Each structure stands twice: as structure tokens, then as C-alpha cells.
Amino acid sequence: MFTGIIEEVGEVVGLERRGDSAVLTVHADTISSDLVHGASIAVNGVCLTVVGWDGPAGEVRIDFDVMGETLARSVIGSLDVGDRVNLERAVRADARLDGHVVQGHVDGTGVVLSRTPGDAWEAVRFGLPAELARFVAEKGSIAVDGVSLTVSEVGPDFFGVGLIPETLRATTLGGRLPGDPVNLEVDVLAKYVARLMETVQS
């Protein structure tokens, strides 16, 4: 489980295709301090398993196995060498939950529709797939490329958020341009409520 509070922005140094799967290699500094084999790390909001690493402190390259399902349902498969990615280690049981409950299970992808700068923040709209629209509510939570955000507006095929300077600085969202694809994970509580209502109504 994750919280959507990004610890570090890493850099892709390799994406090796192996049939219907791949090995993603990312350069990281902060999150490499306590690596263990099999650890879970969210890469742009996708929960991936550490399968190896090498390099001295400050230059660690981490390898992750990526399944075909992940390549098909997220934007991980379209990453290129040099791309920046949001990184977060799994939350500790004794840590504060500063964001919201994020599973690292991407529900779909969207695109940046528009950016409107403000005096101290920026309003950003994202395209919202029709099948996810019912899970997104104003003032509710959503993870965009692994970043925990509060929804400020919802339309039939879009949602909007406000990005504070710290989010613009400390995550990849500060550099996303209109047309750029992003991973989306809706609030897990909304999914369970929807599933419960379907069960009751049937």
C-alpha cells in the first residue's frame, strides 16, 4: 500500500522487452537506501517489485519486472530512456498516512487536457475514461501518476485538480503538457462501495 506522497523523482535508464513482459530499470537515490529483494515500489503509480539493483550510493539502478497486463493498462510501456518517473516506497505500518490509500493498481489512463496557471498554484484538467467517471467525486481523492490529489471539479469526461508549488516541484506533474498520458487510480473506497451497491441491487 502507498499514500500518493512522492518521495523522489527517478530517471528511466532502460526498458527491455521480453516477449509480453519487460524489465524496467530506474536510477534512484533516496528510495535506494533500504532496498530489499521483492520490495514494492510505486513507479508513476504502478506497484512494481524490485528484482535487483546495482551501483554505488547515489547512482543506484533498480530493476523491476513488468507484466504484460501492466504494460497494457498503464503508461509504463511507453516510457523512454531519460523519462522522469515518480517513486514511492510502500508505506510503513507505523507511518502517517499523509495522502490517501493508494494500492498501486492502475485503473486506466487519461491525458492532460489543459493547464491554467494561478498566482501560487496551477489548475490542471485531465481526460477521464467513461468507465471510471462514476468513481470520481468533487473533493474526493484520485492518484495521477501515483500522486495523491484532491478533485476540484468533475465533468462527464474530465476532472480537474489544483497543483500547489510543492507538487509542481517535487513530482513529474510539473512538466506534464497537454496531450501527455498519465496513469489513473481512483479511490479504492469508491470502487468497493460501487461493487457493494451492484451486489445489493442484483
CATH number at residue 46: 2.40.30.20
24 with 74, same domain?
yes
Give pLDDT, residue 202. 66
76 with 24, same domain?
yes
Give pLDDT, residue 49. 94
**Average pLDDT of the residues of the chain:** 93
Query: Which of 4, 13, 82 shows the shortest CA–CA distance to 47?
Result: 4
84 with 114, same domain?
no
* pLDDT, tens digit (0-9, with 9 covering 90-100), for 72-88: 999 999 999 999 999 99
Domain that holds residue 159: 108-201
24 with 84, same domain?
yes
Question: Does residue 97 form part of some domain?
Answer: no
pLDDT at residue 195 greater than cutoff 90:
no
pLDDT at residue 182 greater than cutoff 90:
yes
193 with 113, same domain?
yes
* pLDDT, tens digit (0-9, with 9 covering 90-100), for 17-69: 988 999 999 999 989 888 999 999 999 999 999 999 998 877 899 999 999 99
Global confidence as pTM:
0.93
Question: Does residue 178 form part of some domain?
Answer: yes
Give pLDDT, residue 120. 84
Number of domains, the chain: 2
* pLDDT, tens digit (0-9, with 9 covering 90-100), for 120-154: 899 999 999 999 999 999 999 999 999 999 999 99
40 with 115, same domain?
no
144 with 178, same domain?
yes
Question: Does residue 98 form part of some domain?
Answer: no
**Choice between 161 and 94, residue whose per-residue pLDDT is larger:** 161
Give pLDDT, residue 39. 93
129 with 174, same domain?
yes
134 with 196, same domain?
yes
